Amino acid sequence: MAKPSYALKDTELDELIKELTPKIRTNSVIAGISGFIGFICSSIGWYSIDVQLALGRGLGLLVLGFIGLTAASMTGMTANRHKKKLKFAISDSVVRCALATRFEIDRYSPSGCIRRDIIMYAGLIHRSWNKISGSDLIEGAYKGIGFTFSDVFLEQVSANKKGSERRSVVFKGQWLILELAKPLTFGVQLRGRRGGDSAKSDIETESMEFNKRFQIIASNPHTAFYILTPQLIEQILKAAGRANAQMSVSFDGDKMHIALDSGRDLFELCSEKRKMFKVNNIETLRMQMRWDVNYIANIIDELLLNETLFKADINI
């Protein structure tokens, strides 16, 4: 069952946008400036103490750095709190309505994410990662096919010599899981290649473009060709073109995983380039959310053309 909606009226949502947007922008700017000043002061202070240039001045700069970083943390937390409040209001009032135009929604969780174990089991991310976050978990059906979706953010977090965290982005984008008509008795993984990636595939297809774009890993190379038909190869290439992102695909059991390393989030309220809050009015929001919904639906449409995978009366 879908979660009950507590949607605001357009006038109420518009008032909330006008109230919170300036606060979010102001606190975000203050957090950025304070953090920058705090970092510079702390760095110079540690250096002054380390080389014993000016102990008193170094301690003073450390204090200023601490104040700056504390201010950045507090104003950043305030901005995030306002952003979260507005995010949930918009999710109930705008995103749910946009999703309902194309999908049958059983569950929508703005702060939800596909589970860690599911992503690990799919085997599509070969780089090491130890931290996962995400948003906009959606479970439902599209044209009779069950699906699960969420934005996913994978990082490798480690500590440097000074004890501070070092973060490396491994994956940022969308994760889509489609339910197949019948379970497969073998597994096939198509790992999207990055520039210069020449990892050897278990099999080669007749499509040079496909071989260049994906590393093919198959538990049984012979049976893999039952899945990787010329029709499916063409459909995956078209879907990857629509996604405009590095795509990886996994077939396992009764699930098809599609990982899109797009470098962005869907259903978000911030500018991807400037990381600034960009809510202006409700109609602009609706247009943005409809675009994001169509982005998902158009990719699924390309894949649903394959009757072998998604028609229950056809044997694989």
DSSP sequence for 146-194 = EEEEEEEEEEEEEE-TTS-EEEEEEEEEEEEEEE-SS--SS-EEEEEPP
Render each residue's pLDDT in the chain as its tens digit; 316 residues. Answer: 444 444 666 677 777 777 878 888 888 888 889 888 888 888 877 777 666 556 667 677 778 888 888 888 898 888 888 877 777 777 777 888 889 999 999 999 988 999 999 999 999 998 899 999 999 999 999 999 999 999 999 999 988 766 677 889 999 999 999 999 888 888 899 999 887 677 899 999 999 999 999 999 988 888 888 889 999 999 999 999 999 999 999 998 899 999 999 999 998 765 444 344 455 567 777 888 899 999 999 999 999 988 778 776 545 5
**Spatial contact of 293 and 102, defined as CB atoms under 8 Å apart:** yes
**What is the pTM assigned to this prediction?**
0.76
Query: Among 111, 145, 118, 153, which Cα is nearest to 267's?
Result: 111
**Spatial contact of 267 and 195, defined as CB atoms under 8 Å apart:** no
Please tell me the predicted confidence (pLDDT) of residue 275.
44
Please tell me the predicted confidence (pLDDT) of residue 314.
47
Please tell me the predicted confidence (pLDDT) of residue 280.
58
Please tell me the predicted confidence (pLDDT) of residue 207.
93
